[in-house]
Amino acid sequence: MNLKLHVFPPSPRAFKVLVVAHHLGLDYEFVFCDLTKGDQKSAAYTALNPNQRMPTLEDGDFRLWESNAIIQYLATKKWESGLLPRDERGRADVARWQFWESTTWDPACAILTFERVVKRFFGGGAPDPVEVEKGLQRFNRAASVLDAHLKKQPYVCGDHLTIADFAIAAALTMAEPAQLPLENHGEIRRWAGKLAALPAWQRTLAMQRPQKAT
């Protein structure tokens, strides 16, 4: 088996990569990158990913970091899944939402996840109310965009599931402990419910649970 995924399953960025691998039915070697022990800073890991962050993929002598790039690469292993459209406009649409996830959605969710979950997990003290307020404002702004978009179509990029759905929904695995305010975003809840019903989602959640921060 050539494919290796270096992951810390409680993290939504690891979840993103794992859920796509599971949905595609890919065989991979699981390599636990234990962030609680600083595995990401080891010399061996730094040689794979100089950012000292996970996830990282290895496929033979090919190395790839950035969760959104990793799931694009995984999807090309099973084009027939449709998770990455073959047509240029379809692919550009997926790329658009993955960039939006990286630049807008993930940073908003990450502030609330860091303040309300990660700090507790690593003994980092109480949530900083200024940061929480900033996170809430960013989250509400981004969630309004996504919710309005999902009113028009069942999935992020139209009628079919793509990697853009997994990329964005991964952060919602922290919705409860990070108290992501979804009450006013019924379309996001509807869409997230469909993803959560996928066998790949449940399988990946089960990997997250035993080591979960809460």
Ligand X SMILES: N[C@@H](CCC(=O)N[C@@H](CS)C(=O)NCC(=O)O)C(=O)O
H or E segment and range at residue 39: none
**From the list 4, 31, 59, 66, which residue makes contact with ligand X (rule: CB under 6 A)?**
66
H or E segment and range at residue 4: strand 3-7
Contact between 208 and ligand X per CB under 6 A:
no
Which residue type is seen at 213? A
CB atoms within 10 A of CB 70: 23
Are 70 and 57 contacting, i.e. CB atoms less than 8 angstroms apart? Answer: yes
Burial (CB count within 10 angstroms: exposed 0-12, middle 13-18, buried 19+), residue 19: buried
Q: What is the per-residue binding string for ligand X in 116-155, x denoting contact by CB under 6 A?
A: ----------------------------------------
How many residues sit close enough to ligand X to count as binding (CB under 6 A)? Answer: 10
**From the list 6, 22, 23, 53, which residue makes contact with ligand X (rule: CB under 6 A)?**
53
Binding part of the chain for ligand X, among 47-55, 81-89, 128-136, 181-189 by CB under 6 A, reads 47-55
Contact between 67 and ligand X per CB under 6 A:
yes
Binding part of the chain for ligand X, among 52-60, 78-86, 92-100, 158-166 by CB under 6 A, reads 52-60
For residue 10, how far is the Cα from the chain centroid?
11
Residues paired with 56 in a beta bridge: 6, 65
Binding part of the chain for ligand X, among 46-54, 71-79, 147-155, 200-208 by CB under 6 A, reads 46-54
Which of helix, strand or coil describes residue 203?
helix
Contact between 35 and ligand X per CB under 6 A:
yes
- Residues forming contacts to ligand X in the complex (CB under 6 A) are 11, 13, 35, 40, 52-55, 66-67
